[in-house]
Structure 1
Amino acid sequence: MTRHLPRAIQHILFNLRGGFLVRPLIISLGLGLLGGWLSWLEEKHPAISAWLPAVLFPSREDPQVAQVMLSAIATSIMTVVSIVFAILLMSLTLASMQFSPRIIVSFSRDKVTQWTLGIFLGTFAYCIAALPAARLKPYAFSPVLTVFGSMLLAVACVVGLLFFIHHISRAISVNYIVDRIAEETEQTIADQMPEPHAEHLWESGAAPNAAQPDTPILNRHAGYIRYMDTRKLVQLAKAHQIKLCVARRVGQFAPAAAPLFYASRGERLTPKLCQALQAAIDIGPSRTLQQDVEFGVLQIVDIALKAISPAVNDPTTAITCIDQLSRILCLYSQRSTPQSHYYDPPGVVRVAIPVIETEALLESAFEHIRHYARGDMAVSLRLLAALNDIAAVAPGAAFRLCLLAMGQRTVDACREHLDEQAMRRLRARLDTLQAATRC
Structure 2
Amino acid sequence: MSFKFTLNKIKSNFWILPAMYGFCFFLLALLSMKLDRFLAAHTNLKKLLPSFFFTDKELAQTVLSAISTSLLTMTTITFSSVLVVQTTFLAQYSPRTLQNFNTESKIQHGLGTFIGGYIFALVLLIQLRENELSNTFIVPTFAVVVAFICLGMFVFLIHHVTEWIKVGNLISIIAKETLSSLEKSKRKETHHLQASRESRGLDLEKMKESKIKSKKQGYIQYIELAKLVEFATQNNIIIKLEKFQRNYVDVDTPLLTVWNENDSINKNQILNYIFITPDQEAMENVEFGIQKLVEIALRAIAPGKNDPETAINSIEQLGQILTKIAKENSPFPFYCDEQKNVRVIIEQPDFRDDLYKSFYQIRHYGKADVSVMVSIIKALTLIAETNENNIKEIVWDFSAYILEGIKAVEWLNMDKEFINSHLKKLTKACAKNNGQLIK
For normalisation by structure 2, the TM-score amounts to 0.89
Q: Counterpart in 1 of 2:226?
A: 231
**Distance in 2, Cα, partners of 1:93 & 1:293:** 25
Counterpart residue identity of residue 360, structure 2: E
Matched, 1:398 2:390: yes
Indicate the larger mover: 324-333 or 10-19.
10-19
**Distance in 1, Cα, partners of 2:194 & 2:323:** 15
Q: 1:42 aligns with which of 6, 15, 36?
A: 36
Q: 1:358 aligns with which of 332, 347, 351?
A: 351
Please list, as runs of the form range in 1=range in 2, the aligned pairs for 1:36-435 lying within 5 A after superposition. 36-46=30-40, 47=42, 49-57=46-54, 59=55, 62-136=56-130, 141-144=135-138, 146-194=139-187, 201=197, 203=199, 205-207=201-203, 209-211=205-207, 214-265=209-260, 267-269=262-264, 273-337=266-330, 340-344=333-337, 347-395=340-388, 397-421=389-413, 422-435=415-428
**Residue 385 of structure 1 aligns to a residue in which SS?**
helix
Q: Compute the displacement of 1:305 (Å).
A: 1.0
Q: Residues 73, 190 of structure 1: CA spacing in aligned structure 2 closer, same or farther, 3 A cutoff?
A: same
Q: Compute the displacement of 1:269 (Å).
A: 4.8
**Distance in 1, Cα, partners of 2:256 & 2:137:** 63
Q: Compute the displacement of 1:89 (Å).
A: 0.9
Q: Residues 251, 315 of structure 1: CA spacing in aligned structure 2 closer, same or farther, 3 A cutoff?
A: same
**Distance in 2, Cα, partners of 1:122 & 1:392:** 53
Q: Compute the displacement of 1:72 (Å).
A: 2.5
Q: Confirm or deny: 8 A CA contact 1:205 1:347 kept in the other structure.
A: no
Counterpart residue identity of residue 372, structure 1: Y
**Distance in 2, Cα, partners of 1:322 & 1:344:** 39
Q: Residues 346, 116 of structure 1: CA spacing in aligned structure 2 closer, same or farther, 3 A cutoff?
A: closer
**Distance in 2, Cα, partners of 1:63 & 1:225:** 59
Q: Compute the displacement of 1:438 (Å).
A: 1.6
Counterpart residue identity of residue 232, structure 2: A
Task: For residues 78-121 of structure 1, give each alpha carbon's deviation from its aligned partner in whole angstroms, at most 9, with x where no partner exists.
Answer: 22212321232132112211110001000012122111111101
Counterpart residue identity of residue 82, structure 1: T
Q: Confirm or deny: 8 A CA contact 2:195 2:340 kept in the other structure.
A: no
**Distance in 2, Cα, partners of 1:118 & 1:22:** 9
Which residues of structure 2 form unaligned runs of 5+?
433-439
**Residue 135 of structure 1 aligns to a residue in which SS?**
coil
Counterpart residue identity of residue 425, structure 1: F
**Distance in 2, Cα, partners of 1:49 & 1:394:** 71
Q: Residues 346, 111 of structure 1: CA spacing in aligned structure 2 closer, same or farther, 3 A cutoff?
A: closer
Q: Compute the displacement of 1:76 (Å).
A: 2.1
Q: Compute the displacement of 1:21 (Å).
A: 2.9
Q: Compute the displacement of 1:143 (Å).
A: 3.4
Q: Residues 149, 246 of structure 1: CA spacing in aligned structure 2 closer, same or farther, 3 A cutoff?
A: same
Indicate the larger mover: 246-255 or 423-432.
423-432
**Residue 334 of structure 1 aligns to a residue in which SS?**
helix
Q: Compute the displacement of 1:333 (Å).
A: 2.1
**Distance in 1, Cα, partners of 2:245 & 2:417:** 42
Task: For residues 260-291 of structure 1, give each alpha carbon's deviation from its aligned partner in whole angstroms, at most 9, with x where no partner exists.
Answer: 11112385255xx2221111111112222222
Q: Confirm or deny: 8 A CA contact 2:178 2:284 kept in the other structure.
A: no
Q: Residues 188, 345 of structure 1: CA spacing in aligned structure 2 closer, same or farther, 3 A cutoff?
A: closer
**Distance in 2, Cα, partners of 1:205 & 1:267:** 20
Q: Confirm or deny: 8 A CA contact 1:387 1:403 kept in the other structure.
A: yes
For normalisation by structure 1, the TM-score amounts to 0.89
Which residues of structure 1 form unaligned runs of 5+?
1-6
**Residue 257 of structure 1 aligns to a residue in which SS?**
coil
Q: Confirm or deny: 8 A CA contact 1:66 1:147 kept in the other structure.
A: yes
**Distance in 2, Cα, partners of 1:231 & 1:302:** 33
Task: For residues 340-359 of structure 1, give each alpha carbon's deviation from its aligned partner in whole angstroms, at most 9, with x where no partner exists.
Answer: 42224554322113443433
Q: Confirm or deny: 8 A CA contact 1:225 1:283 kept in the other structure.
A: yes
Q: Confirm or deny: 8 A CA contact 1:20 1:114 kept in the other structure.
A: yes
**Distance in 2, Cα, partners of 1:416 & 1:312:** 24
Q: Counterpart in 1 of 2:18?
A: 24
**Distance in 2, Cα, partners of 1:170 & 1:331:** 27
**Distance in 2, Cα, partners of 1:32 & 1:305:** 47
Indicate the larger mover: 113-122 or 402-411.
402-411
Q: Compute the displacement of 1:409 (Å).
A: 1.8
**Residue 193 of structure 1 aligns to a residue in which SS?**
helix
Indicate the larger mover: 84-93 or 103-112.
84-93
Q: Quick one: percent identity of the two aligned structures?
A: 25
Indicate the larger mover: 75-84 or 163-172.
75-84
**Distance in 1, Cα, partners of 2:104 & 2:332:** 31
Q: How many residues align?
A: 425
